[in-house]
A and B are shown apart, each in its own frame.
Chain A
Amino acid sequence: MKKPEKLIVNGERLDGRAPDELRPLKIEAGILERADGSAYVELGANKVLAAVYGPREMHPRHRQQPDTAVLRCRYNMAPFSVDERKRPGPDRRSVEISKVTREALESVLFLELYPRSVIDVFIEVLQADAGTRTAGINAAAVALADAGVPMRDMVSSVAVGKIDDTIVLDLTKDEDQWGTTDMPIAMVPRKKLITLLQMDGHFTKEEFEQALDLAFKACEQIYGMQRQALREKYAIKQEE
């Protein structure tokens, strides 16, 4: 695709969304049989699976911690998830995303309850269209809850950015590529604690504030959908 002249025309983005509009979001809890917990998230064209195993015995043993469980996160992209085949295995980008994902999730867990154990979070991106790390975090948080791991709260995540000098929510790949700024953010929604923040591009102070406003609002919305997904899985259904 060539760079379009404008990314926003008459207040509408290329895919018809308003600047503060999220892509269609679908969250399902508990969709994998063998995993202790799992979730599937679709955010626009992103399709992301997350599975949680554990708390279980840590292997290799020398990585056990005597006083706490260890949270391990692996963010991985399927070779067929992007236009040009991605070489399998971790690259620098996915190592970094795995790290910041772990740091985004860890503070809501009570790891001290499970000494010598590991909680494994596996995030697999099946189809990518920008925003995979945030979709992965949303899925992972639901999967952790689905696994019955005690949590202080959910973690909700979204990206905000700047295209054509307008602050927008939830960038697509085209907007990320041709836009100015991308800022993924994750938060613990009830207390509004920011646990992930990355940014590249350009923001003035005012734009940064405006972007935060947008992110806070959207995380609220995503939080509601995460809880709804868990409710749908676990609510006792009345027999007709």
Chain B
Amino acid sequence: MRRLFLIAIGISLLVGCASQKGAVGETFPNKTIEIIAPASPGGGWDMAARSSQRALKADGTAGEDITVINKPGGGGEVGWQYLNQQDGHFAALNSSLLITGQLLGQSELTYEQFTPLAMLSTEWLAVATKADAGFENATELMDQLREDPKSLTIGVSPSLGSGNHLAFVQAAIESGIDPTELQFLVYSSGGDIMNALLGGHIDLTSNSMSDLSEQYEAGEVEILAITSPERLDSFPDIPTWQEQGVSVEFPHWRGIMGPPDMSETEIAQWDDMLSEMVETEEWKTDLDNNDLDAFYMNSNETVDFLKEQHEFFKDIVSESGLAP
């Protein structure tokens, strides 16, 4: 008799829990959605976060208020650790640093710890020299580096191991150059690099198109190669690495992810919101203004893409002589 009673209680509790969970799922999101920019205001992540905020608000699918919080520090790690302790109403911007940080022993976090929600945008990375440096194309540049890897100083930002840095390391490996011989100089931002390049402190830079486009259009710098698989519509004169015989395709992507253990409904809801968002005029305008390309993938595709990128970066790291 007593056992029956206990079973009855158990069942009623279970039913209660189930219905409660269902109720939450149906009304998700039911409070303000917060987008974490794991950087200080003004950077690429901050910009992406604020573009998303604008576009999501304009679209209105979410039906709740949307805010952006900045959690700068540790190459994204501070923001991501913060996300780790939140619920499905939180999401954070990410980039290849999420993967390389761990591969290069700079971070304990792995991409597998989070719930991928979407890929948002990408920008392509280019190699630029001062306009009067005298290199006709990337082949000439790589030939000289193969001859004497220390003859040129390469500026990268914001750190060694960043996309900018890795893109050039990959190009060097593909061109038969020992990347450990190369002279890299690290700057904290793209603006500093441009100053150093124009001031003659560095000979070339591997940087994003958004940082280079202004001086390129002003004719101050020459862009020798870009990591996109095909020439960009906006810069049809810039040749790709691939057409110059170097097998490099390197998107500098930005995506968005949620905390661990999100429910199916929450993921589906985010998929709805984000797929609607990338179709808005606000989003497209922001991409154009920042020299970014659309790179939307839904949550499922993002899971696969991140796996693929993980393998890709692992290869670069091992080929650069770390694990012979």
- Do A and B form a real pair? no
Interface positions of A (Cβ within 8 A of B): none
